[in-house]
Structure formats: C-alpha cells, structure tokens
Amino acid sequence: MFDGYTSTELMSIFAMQGFAGLSLFSVFVLMALGLAIIFGQMGVINMAHGEFMILGAYTTYLTSGFFQSYLPGLFGGYFFIAMVLAFLICAALGALVEWLMIRHLYHRPLDTLLATWGLSLIMQQAYRSIFGAREVGVDLPEWMMGAIQVTDMVDLPINGLFVMIIALSVAVGVYLLMYRSGYGKKVRAVVQNRPMAEGVGINSAGIDRATFALGCGIAGIAGAAFTMIGSTGPSSGQAYIVDTFLVVVFGGAQSLIGTIVSAFGISQAQSTMEFFLSGSMAKVLTLLVVIGILMIRPEGLMALKVRR
Amino acid sequence: MLSIKHHLVAYGQSTIIQDLNLDVKKNEIVAVVGRNGMGKTTLMKSLVGMTPTKGGEVSLDGTDLTRLKSFQRVRAGLGFVPQGRMIFPTLTVRENIETGLAAVGEKKVPEDLYEMFPVLKEMQNRRGGNLSGGQQQQLAIARALATRPKVLLLDEPTEGIQPNIIKEIAQTLRRIRDERGLSILVSEQVLSFVMDAADRILVIEKGAIVHEENRAEADQEKIASYLAV
C-alpha cells in the first residue's frame, strides 16, 4: 500500500496524519476520561455520554455567538469562558440526571444501559428541535487560525495543538484530583469496596453524584474542544461513543494512564491507516488488534497488580 | 453506651436474628461467641447498617441509630472492623487510614495511631493489598480507630491469623480500651482469644443470646460446649 510514495513523502504523510490523529486523540482522551470515571466508580455505562459532549459543543457555539454580537472586542478569549460554561452546564445536568434516574438503577447495569440510551435519544431530539438538524460550526478566533510550518510538507494546525494542550491539562487535572485530593481518595475507596467505604464513614451516594457530574462535565469540555476540529450536529456524539468505549475497555477501566495510552494508540492507528486504506478497513484492523490484546490481557492494557 | 433492643434481622423469609437484646457499657469489652451460621456476622453488619434491620432499636450514647445509614452511623461514633478485614487493596496504607479520617474531618494521620501500630508507619507507602494478613488486620483496626469511635465493632478479628498474633490482637484490644476509653463489641470463635480479651462473654445461638458470663467467673468448658459442633 505504500507504492508510489517516496520516502520523504511517506515521512510527511505519517507526520501529518499522526498529528491529525492527535486531535482525535484529544477528543478521545477527554471523552474516555469522563466515561471511565463514571464506569469505574459506579459500573454505569453512560450511553448518553456523547450527547453530553454535544451539549458542551452547543454551549460553546452559543457562547461564541454571544461574544460575536455583544463583546466582539473580547472574542479572542471566548473559548476559555465557553469551556468553563460547558463544564458547569454539563456537570449540572449530569447531577440532575443522576438524582432523577441513575441512582434508582444501581445494581441493574442493563437497565442503566437502556435508560441512558433513552436519555441520549431524548437529548438528540431536543437538540434537533432547538438548534435544527443542520450542523453548526463556530468561528475560530484569529490567533487559533493558521498553522505552524515545520518542514516544506508538514503543517501543524494551531487549533489542533491547542485542543491537545487542553486534553492533556484536563488529564493532569483529573489525575491530581483522583490521586492527590481527599475527594479522590474517597472515590477510590468507593470503587474498591462500596459497603466498606460506607463503613468508614464515606457518604457513597454523595460521592456518586459528584462523580457522575464530574464525568459529564469533562464530556462538556470534550464538546468545547470538539468544536475546534469539527462541526456540531444533533447526532455528532453518536460517532464517538463506540470508539470511546473501545478506548476505555482497552485501557483498563480503572487506570488513567491506560486510558490515555489506549486513546493514543487507537487514534493514531485509525488516522494513519485511514490515509492508506478505506475508513472501514482501518476500523476492522484496529478492532482486530484490540480484541487480540484483550484476549491476552482481559483487564485491559494497564491494570494494577495486588492481592485481592 | 451501645444499647440494642428487640433487634430483628431477616433475609427475605428467613429470620436470622430475633428479639436480641444487648447492652455494652462504657469501657467494656464484650465478646459474642457462637458457631458458624448463628448470626454473629449478621449482627455486626446490621449494627453498622450494611445489612438492613427489620425491627427493634439501636442507640449509641443516647443517639438513635435505627434509621441512620451506614456512613451516618460511623460518623455518630461506631467504628467497624469487618470479617476478612476488607482493607482497600490498591490504596496505600496511609490512604487507607485517611479514608477513616474523612469521617471526622481530619487530614493527617494522628501519631498515636502509628505509635500503636508501628508496622503501619514503616509500611505507610505500600499498597494495602500487599500486606500480610496480620498487618492487614492492624490496618483495619487503625482505619476504624481513625473515625474516632465511641464503640468499636470487630467481626472475627482472628480469622486466618496465626496463634501468636492472635494473642497480640487481644492485648491490642485491651490497650485500645484502656488508652482511649471506648467500648468494644467483638464476635469470635476462638475461645482462648475471648478469655484473653473480653470482660463479658455472650453466647449466640440461632440469632439469640442463650448464655452470658463475666470472664472472671467464666466456665470455659460450658462455653466450649456451645462452640462444639
């Protein structure tokens, strides 16, 4: 499949596809972090996670519109406000959903699957009714446009770089929260043994709500980042949810590093192979490798080894 | 201190504990002994709220616990060391103790806990799951003490632990009681441990207390006969 390319051309193709993969990687990481946190702690598979991401994207769209109309002077910085808003709105909705629906369905994994899937349909239709079926895009501020030219043939777009920085900062933030804060300690205790966590005085229901809200909030940030690299439609979230599950399962549900490594591997593999093969062949190959590795390591790429 | 009245626990149709009455006085160590399946663990779990209670009243130092959830009972002053220790395996030793501290809003592991269990200080950065059984038992006790309990509940603390360490645990319990002035309720099968540790011994059979003795005048053979199969 490499016929007809010179070796310098191949190198540039790999570099640029690799970089395009990095944008995908950023969205995967942000999506997978939220999903992994929620699945790891509560065993709830949130089928509506993609729709939470899209909620964040629409929030960013509205914020950018607001800045364009009322605060054009500050347009360059709208994205940061949008990101915070996306996080807060998605987290608030997440907390509400947990309180209304999810908490009644713990210990019933199939029911939560169905219920969150239903929720995803409701949210999609709501977007369609409110924002219309057409995809919307945001205008990038001046400083995010253009590209850094590395060599004659390799261009790295600034918005892609920016999205990647966001993803990595959020990942570091989540790491610090999970492994360095009091909240994180409680979360890990609840994950490992819920009744016992209660037995040392941890309010596990409260931790659940906070965690679900946090996971949805991070999906909101993913949505804000998503607007930088793609356009937003009511069902854009659907395209990402399956890949995100793949990332989470492949990385090992309780391992943050595993999630990041697997997001990197899968996004790079897909993006590079898509250039040479068709999109579906690329997906087939990725899936085959993932399945093969999961047969050898059922717990995922990186699982902690301790006596249990 | 801890008062249990007309306690009733059932799983579906089968009643495990029926009309159990029990009082633990301040600064007293009470042991509940009985064979397997007589309701020891169910009693302990229902007291800390891990198993729902069907009827009766439980109060701690005047506070009614009956309608409280598990974590609220712990915050009200009930410390729990479960059967099988149940430490958090991938948390470090220090983090394990800190989970208990959260209940009372403290951050730093108090020095006196490490003084009581020096081995935990030595191993504070190891993962809890990689400790030996005896060390895990000490960790489970330290974690429960971190919640500053008024009454400490221990469910079969000697299970799976070698005999010379069993003796140590008995001494530790008495030391905890003497230094911290709390009450202890412990369920147990090992008679020698009970004779070392307890002030008062209760025999539980089919979910009811059938025999009670102070250790001072305890008739070992009689209690042993209850434990024999």
User: What is the SS3 string spanning A192-250?
Assistant: HCHHHHHHCCCCHHHHHHHHHHHHHHHHHHHHHHHHHHCCECCCCCHHHHHHHHHHHHH
Q: Looking at residue A295, what DSSP letter applies? A: H
Task: Tell the residue number behind the tokens 């793609």, with chain if given.
Answer: A230
Tell the CATH topology of B2-26+38-227: Rossmann fold (3.40.50)
Query: Could you tell me if B102 and A182 are in contact, meaning their C-beta atoms sit under 8 angstroms apart?
Result: yes
Residue A307 has pLDDT above 60, yes or no: no
- Kindly list the domain boundaries of chain B, sorted by start residue: 2-26+38-227
Beta carbons of B147 and A306 less than 8 Å apart:
no
Chain B touched by A149 (CB under 8 Å): no
What number is the average pLDDT over the span B122-133?
A: 92
CA distance A225 to chain B (A): 33
Helix (H, G, I), strand (E, B) or coil at B210: strand
Give the model's pLDDT for residue A147: 78
Q: How confident is the model at residue A308 (pLDDT cuts 50, 70, 90)?
A: very low
Residue A305 has pLDDT above 60, yes or no: no
Q: Rg for chain A (alpha carbons), in Å?
A: 20
Give the model's pLDDT for residue A128: 94
Amino acid sitting at position A39: F
Cα separation, A119 vs A79, in Å, equals 28
Give residue-wise pLDDT tens across range B189-215. Answer: 988 899 989 999 999 998 889 989 898
Query: Could you tell me if B128 and B89 are in contact, meaning their C-beta atoms sit under 8 angstroms apart?
Result: yes
Instruction: Please give the backbone phi and psi of residue B188, each rounded to the nearest 5 degrees, phi first.
Output: -160, 155
Give residue-wise pLDDT tens across range A182-208. Answer: 899 999 999 889 999 999 999 999 999
Chain B touched by A305 (CB under 8 Å): no
Chain B touched by A201 (CB under 8 Å): yes
Q: Which helix (H) or strand (E) holds A9?
A: helix A7-42
- A196, A200, A204: residue with CB nearest B103: A200
> Token pair of A84, please?
């915070």
Angle at the Cα of A118 (from A112 to A123), degrees rounded to 5?
Answer: 120
Give residue-wise pLDDT tens across range B7-55. Answer: 999 988 888 998 899 999 999 999 999 988 888 999 999 999 999 999 8
Give the model's pLDDT for residue B106: 84
Which residues of B have a CB under 8 Å from any CB of A? 48-50, 69-71, 74-75, 80, 82, 86, 88-91, 95, 98-100, 102-104, 107, 127, 129-130, 143-144, 146-147
ipTM over 0.90: no
Q: Which helix (H) or strand (E) holds B227?
A: helix B220-227
